[in-house]
Amino acid sequence: MAIKKLAEMVSVIYVLFILFLGLVSVRAGEGMWIPLEVDSLKLKEMQQNGFLLGPGEIYSQFHPSMKDAVVIFGNGCTGVLISPDGLVLTNHHCGYSRIQSHSTLENNYLSEGFWASSRDEELPNPGLTVTFLVRMEDITRKVLDGVTDSLPEQERDRLIVENMDIVQREVQEEHYRTQIKSFFFGRSYYLFVYEIFNDVRLVGAPPENIGRFGGDTDNWVWPRHSGDFCLFRIYAGNNNGPADYSPDNVPYKPGKYFSISTRGVSEGDFTMVMGYPGRTDEYLTSQGLSLVAEKSLPAKIEMRQLRLSAMNKEMSTSPEARLRFASKYLSLSNSWKKWIGVVKGVKRSGALDEKKRKEEAFYRWAEGQAEERDLYTSLPGEFSRAYRQYEPAFLAHDLGNELLNSLESTALAGAFLAQYYPLADSSRAYLRPVIDKLRKTGLNYFRSGALKIDEEILPELLRIYSDNTEPRFHPEVYESVSKEYDQDYRAFADFLFGKSFFSDSVRFKKLMKKSPQAIHKVLWTDPLPSLYRGFSNTLFYNVLLKYDSLDMELNRLYRLYMSGLMAMDTSRTFYPDANFTMRVAFGRVEGYKAADAVYYDCFSTLNGMIEKEDQNIPDYRVSPRIRELYEKQDYGPWSDKEKMPVCFIASNHTSGGNSGSPVLNASGELVGINFDRNWEGTVSDYVYDPLICRNISLDIRYVLFIIDKVAQAPWLLDELTLVH
């Protein structure tokens, strides 16, 4: 009896210890908080950490607040309003594709920079949008009306979709777009109302040797010396509202824009980030994290490395090729290097063991519950069964899509296949616009040099997919490779590219002269469309249906798991995973210990850029103008104790999508622009380690220095509200 009581006591102490560890980890720095709830959940804690503003300053539906100066820039970044004339500041890498689109070899704004000297010189960007959050609302009760725990998951989802449709019809407002997002695996739901502006013009961008200094070498690494910013302007039509591009449009007048502090920040200062983090998976179990970090990401890293190496080889052939692939290469390499950081971070931090300890503590707690004991204690077995079935489908889905997205030749073939019904059944006159568009797409593909890249990487992509997925998820092409080519993927690729109409410009032009019926016939016999069709059919019919069903079951288990975690730890305020909705994070300016005997300070300066300078390495070529200003120590009013600050790090919890987010001081003034994380801290998408996870920000004083001394654009400084 005494032994039993002692065992129970030890169990209780163990659970309390794990809970204590959890409470310690949820400190200033961790968390991505919903703006609507910041005042009630986090304002007091923020003020205890130094925040000087009060309720309604961050989010308000009834008067201008900080949320009105933070925007979605394009489809995956954040931007910030910094002037009464609609001037938007975001990252250079967020505007990179737009800068590239305006560049030619004669006027290469990527390498030379661009600064409009008047409003008339600002460059339009068709398709680029800036999106404002008008308001948000907790609609959980409405969405879950009639939903019970006993409902099967598919029936639950059907009822939720019906309820969401009703809510959206009730709140639909002219000129606004509504969106409903779920949080905590469907435990709660919020409505977001957005206003979208689509006349957005390029105002200014530094050259690459400033905006991307350090390039791929320094990406995801601290210390950084990148001047990662660019400027755009929102234009509006009548009544300051959204309008299609027109020369008659005028600069947008925002309800709120940020003042800019020129005082800088010091170690230990409060900082806050507002923006749109893309996705995190903080509540994954150890099984889920293992699947991502030990199986999926390593295979995708290998695939992406092949593509980047081949692309880099093609880019080195000419300045035209480099300009052509610059934006795509930047995007691909960014994800690739982040994935490597995540894999290393999971190992380094012991994240899997930590998750297992917390899961063990949860199940020990569940054993002591009266009413819901069976519900929670059954979770380990249910998770294990679900993941055993889910893992093969997940890997096939994830790696199959990576393979198809890596090949531009299959994308071209897929574009033709998507039109096969009209090609077969419609008249040539009706099809002329379709055929002309496909012809143009094809000719652009052959001119781009992408074919050489595809020819080089296809054999290894096929091998990697085969090595990491189950045979039941292999398209028929693998049977051909086995029987006809004795598992020689290179020989198969040589045959495919040697015969296909989509791998030779002469054959392609001949194809375009054929009748719609003849083109239709070719699409069903040509090896490249066959490869695309085989993978697409496998991924849809064999993989996706199973993947979606198992994903739904896992979502049910995680929802139950979250309910248990919240019941176990009632003293903790849980934050929802990021899902590209506006969030608030707060922390402090602080360095970190990266490894044994390695400690990083929280600031970088222009001195560090000069120390890295190497004219033989493209990533480290210092701008001549920067070098000149450095030698003269001509920093204007923007220096700090005779040094020019460039970047700083802090413990704000950020993720992809936070690129371009404003970094604010305790008074709500702009002190920096978030653009990256430290490599050791990329694991924060899955486990936030307060000792090592840091966001990297561009010091706003370096932005002002570049505009003033490098661009020599005082008219832009005149727009800003500077606080000295």
CA distances from 624 to 105, 210, 604, 613, 628 (A): 20, 10, 20, 11, 6
- Please pick, among 199, 216, 228, 454, the residue that the annotation labels catalytic: 228
Is 228 known to be catalytic?
A: yes
Q: Can you spell out the DSSP letters for 140-183?
A: HHHHTTT--TTS-HHHHHHHHHHHHHHHHHHH--TTEEEEEEEE
**Alpha-helix residue ranges (DSSP H) falling in 449-544:** 450-468, 477-485, 489-499, 505-512, 516-523, 527-537
- The structure tokens listed for 22 are 């959890």
**Are 580 and 277 a contacting pair, CB within 8 Å?**
yes
Residue type, 145: D
Bridge partners, 178 (sequence order): 193
638-644 long-range CB contacts below 8 Å, 24 or more apart? 638/262, 638/701, 638/702, 638/704, 638/705, 638/708, 638/709, 639/701, 639/705, 640/264, 640/701, 643/605, 643/606, 643/607, 644/605, 644/606, 644/607, 644/701, 644/702, 644/705
Nearest to 91 by CA among 222, 231, 215: 231
- The structure tokens listed for 105 are 């070899």
- The structure tokens listed for 703 are 């932005």
Length of the chain: 724
How far apart are the C-alpha atoms of 682 and 220, rounded to whole Å? 8
Is 454 known to be catalytic?
A: no
How far apart are the C-alpha atoms of 221 and 214, rounded to whole Å? 9
CB atoms within 10 A of CB 308: 18
- Please pick, among 60, 68, 83, 93, the residue that the annotation labels catalytic: 93
How far apart are the C-alpha atoms of 478 and 512, rounded to whole Å? 30
Is 93 known to be catalytic?
A: yes
Q: Can you spell out the DSSP letters for 666-717?
A: TTS-EEEEEEEE-GGGGGGGT---TTT--EEEEEHHHHHHIIIIIS--HHHH
Maximum CA pair distance of the chain?
91
Catalytic residue list: 93, 228, 659
